[in-house]
Amino acid sequence: MQDRMERLLDKLREQGHRITPQRIAVLRVLLESRDHPSVEDIFEKVKVNFPTTSLATVYKTISVLKELGELLELEFSNDHNRYDGNKPYPHPHLICTRCKKIVDPELGGLTDITRELVSDTGYKILSHRLEFYGICPECQERR
Ligand code: ZN
Ligand code: MN
């Protein structure tokens, strides 16, 4: 994670972006999160140590990281967008429809499916979005 942090900071500096403690805090929350936080989730966590941080700072940092291709944005039409700063490339997600938790499942076979698609359709695949919806074990216990 330290390596990824250094890499992100280097990239931001290269592009002429200012590195502020608030920005570093946003990056840290993104890298420490395994649950795909929303902008609001990130904001709440950053505020603990940097109470003067504005929501705009979080939005701005998110948008810069997206531009740099260092952040995966999961868009939802009826819910807040969620972010993955650890794996900024397309990968499958498993979403709990009750508590909205999102995890990265270890899924073999995706390379085979992609190859099959390419050979069947002749498409050059650029990206994908693969989401599974269900009820997580914790929410199943709770009912
Ligand atoms: Zn759940
Ligand atoms: Mn993910």
pLDDT at site 109? 87
The reply to whether CATH 3.30.70.2740 applies to domain 93-142 is no
Residue 143 has pLDDT above 80, yes or no: no
Distance 114 CA to ligand 1 centre (A): 29
2-84 sits in which CATH class?
mainly alpha
Q: How far does the centroid of ligand 1 lie from the alpha carbon of residue 105, in Å?
A: 15
Please name every residue paired with 140 in a beta bridge, in sequence order, or none if there are none: none
**Mean pLDDT estimate for the chain:** 94
If we measure between CA atoms, which residue out of 24, 18, 19, 15 comes closest to residue 42? 24
Distance from C-alpha of 82 to C-alpha of 48, rounded to nearest angstrom: 20
- C-alpha 112/C-alpha 120 separation (Å) is 12
Place of tokens 């693969």: 130
Cα 128 to ligand 2 centre (Å): 13
Cα of 44 from ligand 2 centre, angstroms: 20
Q: Which residues contact 15 (CB under 8 A, 6 or more apart)?
A: 64, 68
Q: What percent of the chain has pLDDT over 90?
A: 92
Beta bridge partners of 72: 84
**Nearest C-alpha neighbor of 19 from the set 32, 8, 4:** 8
Q: What is the pLDDT of residue 65?
A: 96
What is the C-alpha to C-alpha distance for residues 66 and 80, in angstroms, rounded to an integer? 16
Q: Which helix (H) or strand (E) segment is 132 a member of?
A: strand 131-134
Segments making up each domain of the chain, as ranges: 2-84, 93-142
All residues with CB under 5 Å from ion ligand 2: 84, 104
pLDDT digits (tens, 9 = 90+) for 70-122: 999 999 988 999 999 999 999 999 999 999 999 999 888 888 999 999 999 99
Find out whether 62 and 82 touch, Cβ atoms under 8 Å: no
In this prediction the pTM is 0.90
1-37 residue pLDDT tens:
789 999 999 999 999 999 999 999 999 999 999 999 9
Ligand nearest to the CA of 135: 1
Contacts of 143 (CB under 8 A, 6+ apart): none
Please identify every residue whose CB atom is under 5 Å from ligand 1, which is an ion.
96, 98-99, 101, 136, 139
Alpha carbon of 136 to ligand 2 centroid (Å): 16
